[in-house]
Amino acid sequence: MNQLNALKQFTTIVADTSDIKSICKYQPDDATTNPSLILQAINLKNNQHFVDQAIKYGKMKGGLYKDQIINASDKILVDLGVEILKYIPGYISSEVDARLSFSKEKCILRAKKIIYLYEQQGVTRNRVLIKLAATWESIKAAEELQKENILCNLTLLFSFAQARACAEANVFLISPFVGRIYDWYVAQNLISKSSIEKDPGVMSVCKIYEYYKKHNYKTIIMGASFRNIQQILYLSGCDRLTISPILLDQLQSNTQKLERKLIPHNTFLTPPQPLSEEEFRWEHNQDAMAVEKLSEGIRNFGRDQLLLEKILSKKM
């Protein structure tokens, strides 16, 4: 048995791509997208019809030119998601514009709009995860959306404070970014590249997993942003792992034995009192890596969203 199939026995596999060929090849349960992956997808020749459909939709909706561009960009996001859902049995994660990450109300409105666009095409909301950056405002937005059966994937998660706040808000799923945490520590010369046992990205997910299972939180943990298969193998048994096609291929090509590393608890402790906003901001602020990587991630996703809108603007 190859390592990909072995891993599927313990962990739900999610494809970190918008590429249909890769999804068909590796047969994941779910798929995740983000503005960077959407940009890659629309630059492929066989996806140009999505751009044309989006521009037509934006013009049809009318309104200010700015609004037409935003409507067209949301249309592409959803149309690609609908296409991907034809090839997977589970969820598609679709991301809210990162520039809204500090407004609870705007995140809620955009999430509802995305769900409405999916439902217009016959996709029920229980197959869509709305991706939001794990700011305090977005966590609170996810808490409200959950009450309307709109499930959320809190992404760009780097600190334990973010993980705690998400669980306490009953968020459906979180995406701790293993590789980006690792990158920061390597760049700061704080760890050796060869030290997988001390990999801070891996250890972050292990800590969250232990804490969630010990307190019986229902929030799903989905490790993300991997740099090598060793990071993935060390997290075998995690609820979900979202993996790029390059690393999926390496797992599929490898037949070395795989052992489960993360195992849930059978006994539970009473959860602590939920973090207040002030406590959350202080605890998150204590982690320099998390502060830097969250703001960088929001900036980069915002930049890619802007690039998408510029492409649409030129064609419109």
- Annotated catalytic sites, by residue? 131
- Lowest mean per-residue pLDDT among 26-40, 73-87, 114-128, 223-237: 26-40
Would you state the pLDDT for residue 43? 79
Question: pTM for the whole thing?
Answer: 0.95
Average pLDDT over residues 103-113: 98
**Which residues span the domain enclosing 43?**
3-315
Average pLDDT over residues 151-167: 98
Beta strands 173-176 and 220-223 are parallel
pLDDT at residue 195 is higher than 80: no
Could you tell me the CATH number of the domain that includes residue 106? 3.20.20.70
Average pLDDT over residues 55-74: 94
Would you state the pLDDT for residue 37? 84
Would you state the pLDDT for residue 30? 97
Percent of the chain with pLDDT over 90: 88
pLDDT at residue 197 is higher than 80: no
Would you state the pLDDT for residue 279? 98
Per residue in 270-311, pLDDT (tens digit) is: 999 999 999 999 999 999 999 999 999 999 999 999 999 999
Q: Mean of the per-residue pLDDT values for the chain? A: 95
Print the SS3 string covering the chain.
CCHHHHHHCCCEEEECCCCHHHHHHHCCCEEECCHHHHHHHHCCHHHHHHHHHHHHHHHHHCCCHHHHHHHHHHHHHHHHHHHHHCCCCCCEEEECCHHHCCCHHHHHHHHHHHHHHHHHCCCCHHHEEEEEECCHHHHHHHHHHHCCCCEEEEEEECCHHHHHHHHHCCCCEEEEEHHHHHHHHHHCCCCCCCCCCCCHHHHHHHHHHHHHHHCCCCCEEEEECCCCHHHHHHCCCCCEEEECHHHHHHHHHCCCCCCCCCCCCCCCCCCCCCCCHHHHHHHHHCCHHHHHHHHHHHHHHHHHHHHHHHHHHHHC
Identify the band that residue 18 occupies on the pLDDT scale cut at 50, 70 and 90: confident
Could you tell me how many residues make up the chain? 316
pLDDT at residue 196 is higher than 80: no
Domain count of the fold of the chain: 1
Percent of the chain with pLDDT over 70: 100
pLDDT at residue 45 is higher than 90: no
Average pLDDT over residues 21-49: 88
